[in-house]
C-alpha cells in the first residue's frame, strides 16, 4: 500500500510538535544522584547547609556549588514577539522556550524562560533585578523599542552579570560579520561605503552602532523609518533615532538608495523595488532581513543585477543572517570566565571570529546537514557567513569572547585552560 499523503499544514505540525508527547519544549534535569538516604541527606537537609554557609560567606562560591554559572534567564514582556507584535507575556513563552532549546543545543547552556507581565518599564526592570541572583546571565528577548534600550542600560548598570538584548546585539553581530566579508569580496571598505539602513528599531540602531565601532562613517549612514529618512531637523523622532540623523537631502528610500553601496533591511516585506536595486552603486551588498518575507527577494534582485551579494533571514536562501550563530556562543564565552557583562569589545571579538570562520574550509558534517556536495560551500558571494550547524562555531566564538572579557577586565576568572591558547 502507498503511504497516506501528509495533509497537515505547517501550523498544525507546529502545534502537534509543541503539544506531544508532553507540552512544551523544555524540562529540568537532575545532575546529582539521589537514590539513597545518604544522597538525599547531601542533596537537601542537612548536607545542603554546607554550601549555603559557603555562599553566605562568599557570594562567588555560588559559581562553585550551584548551577548559577551555566544558567541563563531568557526574559520577555511579550511586547514585540517575532513579527507578531505585542501579544503579551504568556503568548511569548513558546518563543522563549525555543530560545532555551537553542542555548542548550548549540552551547550546552541551561535556561529558565521567564515571562514578565509588568505594567511599566520600571516594574519590568525591578522584577528582573530582584530575580537576577539566580542566574549567570540574562538574555532579554522580544521587547519593543524604544523601551528595550532603557531596560538593557539600567539592568547592565545594576547587575553584575551579563545582560544581553539579542534582538539588538545578536542581530548586529551577525550582520556586521556578514557585511565585512561581503565588502571584502566586493572590493570595498566599510569606512568608504555608503550604507542605507531600512528600519530604525532596536536591531537597526544596534547594528549601525556596531558598524560605526568597526569603522563605518556615521555620515555615510542613512537610516529610514516608517515616515522616511532620519535627517537633521526632523522633529518627530526619539533620542535613539536622533543618533542617526544625517545632513542629507534624501527624504525617501528611493532617494537614499541611489548610489548606495549597501542596503540593510530590518523592517518589513516588499519595501525595496527592483528600480531601487538598479540605482545602487556598482557591486552593491543587499541584506534583506525581514522574516519570513524579505524586503525584496533574491530572485528579484538577481533579475536586475548580476554584481550583487545578497543575504536574507531565511534558511532556504544562501547567506542566512541567523542570531543562533551568535548568542549561544557569546554567552558560552562570557559564562566560562564568569564575566560581569558583555561589553562592546566582546561583541567586536565575536564579529571578527564569525567573519574569520567563513574563510575556513567547510567540514563534511556541515555539507551533509545542508545536502551540499564537497566544494559547494566555500567563501564567496553565496557563503559570507557560516551556517548554524557548523560545529566549529563553539571553537571560534567563545574563546574570542572570553579573551576580550579577560582583556577588558570584566572576567572574574582567568581565560580557561581548555580554550585555544594565543598563537594556537
Residue 42 burial by Cβ neighbours in a 10 Å radius (0-12, 13-18, 19+): middle
Q: Which of 4, 13, 32, 44 is catalytic?
A: 44
Which helix (H) or strand (E) segment holds residue 122: the answer is helix 121-131
Neighbours of 299 (CB within 10 A): 8
Contact between residue 387 and residue 370 where contact means Cβ atoms under 8 Å apart: yes
Q: Is the peptide bond before 178 cis (omega within 30 degrees of 0)?
A: no
3-state SS class at 46? coil
Q: Which residues lie closer than 8 Å to 189 by C-beta, 6 or more apart? A: 183, 215
Distance, CA of 277 to CA of 257 (rounded, Å): 8
Residues 367 and 299: their CA atoms lie apart, in Å, by: 24
Instruction: State the catalytic residue, choosing from 99, 188, 383, 415.
Output: 99
Neighbours of 37 (CB within 10 A): 7
The three grid cell numbers given for residue 312, joined into one nine-digit string = 536574507
All 3 cell numbers of residue 216? 563605518
And the C-alpha cell for 298? 533574491
How would DSSP label each residue in 153-218? HHHHHH-SS-EEEHHHHHHHHHHHHHHHHHHHHHT--TTT--EEEE--SHHHHHHHHHHHHHT--G
65 catalytic per annotation: no
From residue 396, alpha-carbon distances to 110, 236, 353, 379, 383 in Å are 21, 43, 6, 17, 17
Q: CA–CA separation, 386 vs 95, rounded Å?
A: 24
For the chain, how big is the Rg over CA atoms in Å?
Answer: 23
**Dihedrals phi, psi of 72, to nearest 5 degrees:** -115, 140
Does 217 sit behind a cis peptide bond, omega within 30 degrees of 0 on the bond before it?
no
Query: In the chain, what are the helix, strand and coil shares in percent, each to the nearest 5?
Result: 45, 10, 45
| Peptide bond between residue 46 and the one before it cis (omega within 30 degrees of 0) | yes
Q: Which DSSP category does 144 fall into?
A: -
Residues identified as active-site: 44, 99
Amino acid at each position: 500500500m502507498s503511504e497516506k499523503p501528509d495533509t497537515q499544514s505547517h501550523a498544525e505540525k507546529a502545534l502537534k510538535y509543541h503539544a506531544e508527547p508532553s507540552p512544551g519544549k523544555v524540562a529540568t534535569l537532575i545532575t546529582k544522584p539521589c537514590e539513597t538516604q545518604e544522597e538525599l541527606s547531601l542533596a537537601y537537609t542537612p548536607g545542603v547547609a554546607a554550601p549555603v554557609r559557603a555562599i553566605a560567606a562568599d557570594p562567588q562560591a555560588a559559581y562553585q556549588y550551584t548551577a548559577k554559572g551555566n544558567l541563563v534567564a531568557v526574559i520577555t514582556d511579550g511586547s514585540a514577539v517575532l513579527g507578531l507584535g505585542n501579544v503579551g507575556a504568556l503568548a511569548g513563552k513558546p518563543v522563549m522556550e525555543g530560545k532555551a532549546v537553542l542555548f542548550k543545543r548549540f552551547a550546552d547552556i541551561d535556561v529558565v524562560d521567564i515571562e514578565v507581565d509588568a505594567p511599566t518599564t520600571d516594574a519590568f526592570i525591578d522584577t528582573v533585578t530582584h530575580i537576577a541572583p539566580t542566574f549567570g546571565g540574562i538574555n532579554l528577548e522580544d521587547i519593543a523599542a524604544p523601551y528595550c534600550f532603557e531596560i538593557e542600560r539600567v539592568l547592565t548598570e545594576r547587575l553584575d552579570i551579563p545582560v544581553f538584548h539579542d534582538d539588538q546585539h545578536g542581530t548586529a553581530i551577525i550582520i556586521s560579520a556578514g557585511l565585512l566579508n561581503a565588502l571584502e569580496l566586493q572590493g570595498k571598505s566599510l569606512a568608504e561605503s555608503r550604507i542605507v539602513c531600512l528600519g530604525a528599531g532596536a536591531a537597526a540602531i544596534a547594528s549601525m552602532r556596531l558598524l560605526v565601532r568597526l569603522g563605518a562613517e556615521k555620515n555615510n549612514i542613512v537610516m529610514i523609518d516608517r515616515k522616511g529618512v532620519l535627517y537633521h531637523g526632523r522633529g518627530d523622532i526619539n533620542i535613539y533615532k536622533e543618533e542617526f540623523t544625517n545632513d542629507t537631502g534624501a527624504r525617501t528610500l528611493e532617494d537614499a538608495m541611489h548610489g548606495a553601496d549597501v542596503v540593510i533591511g530590518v523592517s518589513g516585506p516588499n519595501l525595496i523595488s527592483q528600480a531601487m536595486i538598479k540605482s545602487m552603486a556598482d557591486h552593491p551588498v543587499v541584506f534583506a532581513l525581514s522574516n519570513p518575507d524579505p524586503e525584496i527577494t533574491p530572485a528579484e534582485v538577481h533579475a536586475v543585477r548580476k554584481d550583487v551579494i545578497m543575504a536574507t533571514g531565511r534558511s532556504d536562501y544562501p547567506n542566512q543572517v541567523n542570531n543562533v550563530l551568535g548568542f549561544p556562543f557569546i554567552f558560552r564565552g562570557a559564562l566560562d570566565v564568569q564575566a560581569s557583562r558583555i561589553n562592546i569589545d566582546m561583541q567586536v571579538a565575536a564579529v571578527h571570529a564569525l567573519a574569520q570562520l567563513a574563510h575556513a574550509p567547510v567540514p563534511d558534517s556541515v555539507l551533509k546537514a545542508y545536502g551540499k556536495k564537497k566544494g559547494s560551500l566555500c567563501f564567496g558571494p553565496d557563503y559570507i557567513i557560516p551556517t548554524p550547524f557548523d560545529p566549529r562555531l563553539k571553537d571560534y566564538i567563545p574563546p574570542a569572547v572570553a579573551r576580550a572579557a579577560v582583556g577588558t577586565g570584566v572576567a572574574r576568572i582567568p581565560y580557561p585552560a581548555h580554550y585555544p591558547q594565543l598563537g594556537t
